[in-house]
Amino acid sequence: MNRIGFILKVKEHLIEEYKDHHRHVWPEMLEALKGAGWHNYSLFMRPDGLLFGYFETPGTLEEAVAAMETTEVNGRWQALMAPYFELPPGARPDQMLVELEEVFHLS
C-alpha cells in the first residue's frame, strides 16, 4: 500500500462552507473512493485554507485519480468543489493535487 500526501488551497472566505460539505459527503462519493482504492483518506487544514490530504492506495496518485475519473459521481463532486479552491480557471481540484514526497515514516 502506498501512502500519498498532497496539498491544495481552499479560499479563506469559503473554509466553513467547504468543511460543511465534508461533514456531509455523499454516500455514493464515499463508495466510489473506496472502490477506486482510496483508503485511510484524511484531510487536514490550516486556518488560512492550506489543505493537506493523505490516503493510502495500492497504486500511484495518478492511478487513484484516474480510477475516480471513471465514476459519474466524481464529476459532480469535482464541479461542486471547484469554486472552493484557488485554481486556474476551468481546472478541477482533482487535477491540481500537488503530491508531496514522503521523507519519513514511523510504523
**Residue tagged active-site, from 13, 21, 22, 105:** 22
Full domain range(s) for residue 33: 2-100
Q: Decide if 56 contacts 40 (C-beta within 8 A).
A: yes
User: How many distinct structural domains can be found in the chain?
Assistant: 1
Which pLDDT tens digit goes with each residue over 60-84?
999 999 999 999 999 999 999 999 9
The CATH number of the domain holding residue 26 is: 3.30.70.100
Q: Where residue 88 falls among pLDDT bands split at 50, 70, 90?
A: confident
Residue 22 annotated as catalytic? yes
Which pLDDT tens digit goes with each residue over 6-55?
999 999 999 999 999 999 999 999 999 999 999 999 999 999 999 999 99
E strands in the chain: 2-9, 39-45, 50-57, 98-100
Would 105 be classed as within a structural domain?
no
- 92 pLDDT higher than 90: no
